[in-house]
A and B are shown apart, each in its own frame.
Chain A
Amino acid sequence: MKKWYNSDLKVNDLIQQFKITDPDEKLSKENKNEVQKLNYIHALLTDEEHIVFIDPFLHTINDNIHLFHKMKRQLLDQNKSLLVVTSRLEDAFVLQADVMKINDEGLKVVETTENTDGKESLNTKVKVKANDKTIFVDISEIEFLESQDGKVYINLDGEKFMMETTLQNAEDELSGHGFYRCHRSYIVNLHKVKEIITWSKNAYSVIIDNNEESKIPLSRAKYNEIQERLITL
Chain B
Amino acid sequence: MNLEIASLIGKSTQDKIQIHKGESYAVQMPYDYFEKLTKIVRTSDSNVFTNDIPIYKRITFRDHIK
Query: Which residues does A use to contact B, with CB under 8 Å?
Result: 2, 4, 11, 14-15, 20, 22-29, 34-36, 38-39, 41-43, 45-46, 48-56, 58-59, 72, 75-76, 79-89, 91-93, 95-96, 98-104, 106-107, 110
* 19-48 of chain B: CB within 8 A of chain A: 19-31, 33-34, 37-38, 41, 44-48
Q: Which 9 A-B pairs have the closest CB atoms?
A: A107-B15, A48-B47, A102-B29, A50-B46, A95-B26, A92-B26, A23-B62, A82-B24, A2-B66
CB pairs A–B below 8 angstroms (23 shown)? A15-B61, A15-B62, A22-B61, A35-B55, A38-B61, A39-B53, A50-B1, A54-B50, A55-B31, A58-B51, A80-B21, A81-B21, A81-B22, A83-B24, A83-B25, A83-B27, A85-B28, A85-B34, A86-B28, A91-B28, A96-B24, A96-B26, A99-B27
Docked Cα-Cα span, A43 to B48, in Å, equals 9
Docked Cα-Cα span, A202 to B13, in Å, equals 31
In the complex, the chain B residue whose C-beta lies closest to that of A102 is B29
Interface majority SS (helix, strand, loop, mixed), chain B = mixed
Docked Cα-Cα span, A38 to B8, in Å, equals 28
A35 — which chain B residues lie within 8 A by C-beta? 53, 55
Docked Cα-Cα span, A107 to B3, in Å, equals 11
Decide: B21 and A72 in contact? CB cutoff 8 A.
no
How many B residues are at the interface, by size bracket?
A: 35 or more
Docked Cα-Cα span, A178 to B23, in Å, equals 38
Docked Cα-Cα span, A84 to B48, in Å, equals 10
A-B contact count (CB 8 A): 192
Decide: A52 and B20 in contact? CB cutoff 8 A.
no
Query: Which residues does B use to contact A, with CB under 8 Å?
Result: 1, 3, 5, 8-9, 11, 13, 15-17, 19-31, 33-34, 37-38, 41, 44-51, 53, 55-62, 64-66
